[in-house]
Structure 1
């Protein structure tokens, strides 16, 4: 991973988190007039409609396509992404209706855990010691936030629903990771219209279409910023950081949401919440300290994605030379080298021993 590209990717991930951080507290307000199923639909439809408009405006300015489009071989991951994006926000909205916005915001950190574990078990992403520590701390914090009362040890239904939403998004993050070399704008539009339409159908079947015009407009605008722009930046970050590490930087979002929730709803700060928040702050810190360096091998591969020629991985030659980023099908010859890297799509090698 090129150093400047890595810093830019971290910036994308943090900005994505800032945008998503406003989602839980604002959604909590809108749920007073809108059903959870319809709210989930409007958020994703807002993302799809907004990013489709941005895409049209962008294409008019530049006729040259710099990003690789989705193809037929991407279809299994696209379907998985849409199905999980239908389930996750509905579960989150249901959970938000049963618990505090601050609680739900912090519980979103559990997405890091499921993202990392799925990345390890299914996609063979490397998880180092720091990320394992982060996972344990975040799990501990999530358990504390899920418990209503330590003396009776009863579980909060709202918190459990939020955790289930995080599980869905953790799996979905890995589906999106497999698409991260493709056009991120197209991915967000497909996500928005696909998941939004599915959730809208569920809302209709569940008789949950009651709302008002102001709430609809507010939800669509929130969806554009907190889901559309946020997802776009998240996908761009995944391209260079991989699924697990991107979700680690994205962990800023829950704390933003919790801070807004305390300010807006005047939620009382309990010792249990403070302890859980402390564990999650430590977890987010350890998760963000990823990346490693060792000698590794890139096997020969042919694929199509946006790229430049200054990162040490794209060494093919153009006649005449091309200096700007561009997209075309290209071949990576077998390469062995040593440099700092994460778990992006160009570094999917297996770590059989500690380096």
Structure 2
């Protein structure tokens, strides 16, 4: 299996499991404070991990021109998105909410295609149509699905839109340190949301519950985001979103089997449509002759077919390794994704 695909799928499992588990914690504190604690746990845990890895606090290595992309990603994905999701979970069943999160992949792809000009083919587009149809069925107000009204699904759709913007902005900095990107998002979003919640009168739950929420945030938001950034680096935005769209099925499975939530015919119809859409994404193949323009950047890499360069320092053969390096222009043909080396026109 492609390493980047593996990263995306594991990220999906971690995030998918966190949604119904977060619903269990809704009654413990306000949705705003819950979202803040989830991200705060993510940021604190990843920050500690980065200090341990680097034996101290090192510079992020992010170029000045890339900071607006990262700050925008933090605002949409770390501040607005979690608040909308936590509000939506208070008006939607865990299983329905989990499947509605598939809309994130659709909106991510639409922004990638129409705003950032990422390549798309008919198979990917058809899969997105199937996922949208499934989401529309779930969002339709029906009492038997446990949704109650359309307010919850609309809030979750808003969260998906925020994360879709976040995903596309994060792709702009995906070659940088994934631990720093995810950790910064967690710390800033966590502090902002917790501060707002406390200002509005929320109070922290018991210490043991606070720790539980933060650990859930570290795994479901923090580690998941690190793996998602690594997948963005290797797959591009739309394809990573497609693989990540398996997350809602994990969440729905937990909601139905562990939490014992009821299901309905509309739920299973939506599941079938979304599963078909995801399958179309997972089985997509992309290969054609393409040209790499000269490029200079820095990221962790191995000496594969795209990294055949000399070093201006003593290199002892360790891989992967990171340093500034240049790519010469080359034209060739092989299966590929729109990763950081394949952002070419078609």
TM-score by length of 2: 0.93
Q: Does 1:284 align with 2:274?
A: no
Between stretches 260-269 and 41-50, larger displacement belongs to 260-269
Give the conservation status (yes or no) of the 8 Å contact 1:74–1:179.
yes
Select the residue among 321, 338, 343 that pairs with 1:343: 338
Q: For the Cα contact (< 8 Å) 2:91–2:149, is it kept in 1?
A: no
Mapped partners of 1:104, 1:282: distance in 2: 19
**Contact 2:32–2:197 (CA under 8 A) maintained in structure 1:** yes
Partner SS state of residue 28, structure 2: coil
Q: CA deviation at 1:321?
A: 5.6
SS in 2 for 1:345: coil
CA contact (8 A) 1:294 1:340 kept: yes
C-alpha contact (below 8 Å) 1:35/1:210 kept by paired residues: no
1:266 equivalent in structure 2: 260
**How far is the alpha carbon of 1:213 from its aligned partner?**
2.3
Unaligned runs of 5+ in 2: none
1:250 CA displacement: 1.1
Q: Distance in 2 between matches of 1:80 and 1:322?
A: 39
Equivalent residue in structure 2 for 1:75, among 62, 67, 70: 67
Distance 1:82 1:174 in 2: 12
* Deviation readout 1:121-180 (Å, 9 max, x if unpaired): 1211101111101110011001100011399xx951101100110011011001111111
Structure 2 residue aligned with 1:334: 329
Deviation at 1:288, TM superposition (A): 1.8
The match for 1:252 is: 246
The DSSP-based 3-state class of the residue aligned with 2:118 is coil
**Partners in 1 of 2:228 and 2:274 — Cα distance?**
21
The alpha-carbon deviation at position 265 of structure 1 amounts to: 2.9
Contact 1:91 1:162 in 2 (8 A): yes
Q: CA deviation at 1:244?
A: 0.9
User: Which segments of structure 1 move beyond 4 Å, counting only runs of 4 or more?
Assistant: 319-322
Which of 155, 165, 172 is the equivalent residue of 2:159? 165
Supply the distance in 2 between the matched residues of 1:165 and 1:255 (Cα, whole angstroms): 18
Change (3 A) 1:68 1:205: closer
Q: Say whether residues 1:99 and 2:92 are aligned partners.
A: yes
Kindly indicate whether residue 15 of structure 2 is the aligned counterpart of residue 20 of structure 1. Answer: yes
Measured after TM superposition, the shift of residue 210 of structure 1 is 4.9
Equivalent pairs, count: 339
> How far did 1:243 drift?
1.0
1:118 aligns with 2:106: no
Distance 2:261 2:215 in 1: 26
Alignment correspondent of 1:3: none
1:228/1:297 CA distance change after superposition, 3 Å: same
Q: 1:38 aligns with which of 18, 33, 41?
A: 33
The answer to whether the Cα contact below 8 Å between 1:82 and 1:195 also exists between their aligned partners in 2 is: yes
